[in-house]
Amino acid sequence: MLVMTLVLAAAGFGLLVIALMTGSVIWAWGCILVCVAGAVLLLVSALASRKAVPGQAGSESLPGETGQQGLPDHGDSGSDSAQG
């Protein structure tokens, strides 16, 4: 959905440039309609992602606790350490 929002924003900008170059109000109204459609799509996407977040709240781990036993993950086993 965010890609469609970006496409609509680019199309709206293109219509704005055309409206300014030609001085036509029709192109300006087209720009406004496309930008409003993009804003609505962005709002729908934001509301949909907001509803998805509370369902995943139980699977979060505390910062610094990763791995199977809740131990901090320090990368690989230390075979590539810089000693020496």
The pLDDT value given to residue 52 = 74
The pLDDT value given to residue 1 = 80
Closest CA to 2 of 35, 44, 33, 31: 44
The pLDDT value given to residue 28 = 94
Domain housing 29: 2-49
The pLDDT value given to residue 4 = 92
Number of structural domains (the chain) is 1
Ranges of the chain whose pLDDT falls below 50: none
What's the 3-state SS for the chain?
CHHHHHHHHHHHHHHHHHHHHHCCHHHHHHHHHHHHHHHHHHHHHHHHHHHHCHHHHHHCCCCCCCCCCCCCCCCCCCCCCCCC
The pLDDT value given to residue 53 = 66
The pLDDT value given to residue 22 = 94
Q: What is the pTM of this model?
A: 0.57
The pLDDT value given to residue 44 = 93
On whether residue 21 sits in a domain, the answer given is yes
On whether residue 71 sits in a domain, the answer given is no
